[in-house]
């Protein structure tokens, strides 16, 4: 399972079959899509002010859209999630 924590208590997980979006620190499942419906992802760096960590806006397109804002520390987990989604969608 790959898990990416976002700001504001949101997260996205991939369990191998489904892409899951959670809110409220995992207490509320907001969306569930089959992983093979993955169509693409965009990652955009947000403009940052002095002495603040870098943040990224993430948009994942499946049968529906999932968006998330993450900190720079979650970028490796996000890259692993996108790589695995691309692998699943290609098969």
Average pLDDT over residues 10-36: 94
Check residue 60 and give its pLDDT: 97
Q: Is 8 left (phi over 0), alpha (psi -120 to 50) or beta?
A: left
Q: Domain total for the chain?
A: 1
Q: Which domain holds residue 79?
A: 2-90
Is residue 44 within 8 A of residue 28, CB to CB? The reply is no
Check residue 49 and give its pLDDT: 86
- DSSP-derived secondary structure letter, 27: T
**The domain that contains 58 carries what CATH number?**
2.30.29.30
Beta bridge pairs of residue 23 = 28
| CB neighbours of residue 14 within 10 Å | 21
Distance CA 44, CA 29 (A): 24
Check residue 91 and give its pLDDT: 76
Is residue 7 within 8 A of residue 26, CB to CB? The reply is no
Q: For the segment 42-71, what is each residue's pLDDT rounded down to a tens digit?
A: 999 999 888 899 999 999 999 999 999 999
Whether the predicted pLDDT of 78 surpasses 90: yes
Q: For the segment 81-90, what is each residue's pLDDT rounded down to a tens digit?
A: 999 999 998 8
The rounded percent of the chain whose pLDDT value lies above 90 is: 86
């Amino acid at each position: 399972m790959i898990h990416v924590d976002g700001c504001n208590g949101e997260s996205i997980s991939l369990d191998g079959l489904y892409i899951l979006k959670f809110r409220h620190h995992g207490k509320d499942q907001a969306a569930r899509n089959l992983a093979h419906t993955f169509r693409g992802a965009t990652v955009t760096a947000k403009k940052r002010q002095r002495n603040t960590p870098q943040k990224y806006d993430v948009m994942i397109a499946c049968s529906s859209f999932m968006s998330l804002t993450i900190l720079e520390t979650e970028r490796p987990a996000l890259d692993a999630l996108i790589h695995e989604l691309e692998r699943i969608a290609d098969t």
